[in-house]
Amino acid sequence: MPAISKDLVNHLAVGDEDGGQRLDNYLFKILKGVPKSHVLRIIRAGEVRLNKKRCKPSDRITAGDVLCIPPVRTAEKAPVPAAQAVPAREFEIVYEDEAMLVINKPAGVAVHGGSGVSFGVIEQLRRARPEARYLELVHRLDKDTSGLLMIAKKRSALVKLHEAIRNDHPKKVYLALGVGKLAADKLQVKLPLFKYTGAQGEKMVRVSEDGQSAHTMFRVLARFNNALLHQAGLSELSFVEATLKTGRTHQIRVHLQSQNCPIAGDERYGDYQANKRLQKLGLKRMFLHAAELRLAHPLSGEPLLLRAELPTELQQLIERLSAAEQSQIKQP
């Protein structure tokens, strides 16, 4: 990130990683602490020059462009207490090259700070890699979801990946454990989803005709209905593969809830009593994992198939349930 002088006119050359974006978005990024309204005002007043010419907020910048920016005073930040400082952290790397990074995100870690969360994956990665000029999230995973998370290392890669996502090119496959019996072994759920704010200010989603179109394909991998479950006060569980055809907030969670098969351990859309009973079987988190990504490399076009195995605690639960199922089948 270029250093901006508070007292002198700044002349900045646009780097390769920043080319292609809108002028206002670029300035919002480099002028941290400056109100967006002030940034827009200095552009419209002609105080910002692009290649020595007046410019508009919507103008696109390209690599090699020269920006002239007037002295700008940013808001002084109070020192961050040591306890709140972002700790550097690397994550399990599934794939990495000069354009992109794909990690296996653990459950319980937000992808970015905000909404009561001081920091997330992206802030920790930036702290761990101070030499990296560009690190941006390509998409998001819920805090309690584990699995494959894409991060762009070049703006050109980010633009291509976002374009691919809009065109439904990356195939995203998740593994989930539902509480209940999914109606069919293969099921397509096409129900619109509407975002709203809950009573405690939390982000919520429900099925509603006023919402955005959403499409999930489900395939049952295993059904569990055995003595182990019955002893814990549970009737049936469905281990499913979910393939996203759209990427709405909480899509898989709400689509499974709509089929009376909410995700095991889901504290927001799940079955409270069932979750308490599942804890006795060792499930301490939501059973949702981003397991597979199929996509074309954003720069080379090379086909990529990336996988992240189920975390140990989820795999052990499936093995335990499978063993109980087999034991029941063998009984006379």
237 backbone dihedrals φ, ψ, rounded to 5°: -130, 150
In this structure, the chain runs to a length of: 332
Residue 9: closest CA among 54, 73, 68? 68
Residue 18 one-letter amino acid:
D
Instruction: Look at the block and give the residue holding tokens 């002030």.
Output: 38
Residue 62 one-letter amino acid:
T
Contact 67, 15 (CB under 8 A): no
Q: At what angle do helices 23-30 and 36-44 cross, to 10 degrees?
A: 130
Q: How crowded is residue 233: how many other Cβ atoms within 10 Å of its Cβ?
A: 12
Contact 211, 192 (CB under 8 A): yes
Q: Are strands 288-296 and 146-152 parallel, antiparallel or unpaired?
A: parallel
Query: Sign of torsion, CA 219 187 139 288?
Result: negative
Contact 158, 132 (CB under 8 A): no
Residue 151: closest CA among 64, 203, 90, 107? 90
Q: How many CA atoms lie within 13 A of 141 on its CB side?
A: 30
Record the tokens describing residue 231, joined without a space.
Answer: 């002893």
Q: Is 267 helix (H, G, I), strand (E, B) or coil?
A: coil
Specify whether the backbone of 135 is left (phi greater than 0), alpha (psi in -120 to 50) or beta.
beta
Distance, in Å, from the CA atom of 39 to the CA atom of 45, rounded to the nearest integer, reads 10
- 142 part of the active site: yes
Of these residues, 24, 142, 266, 271, which one is catalytic? Answer: 142
Q: Which residues are catalytic?
A: 142
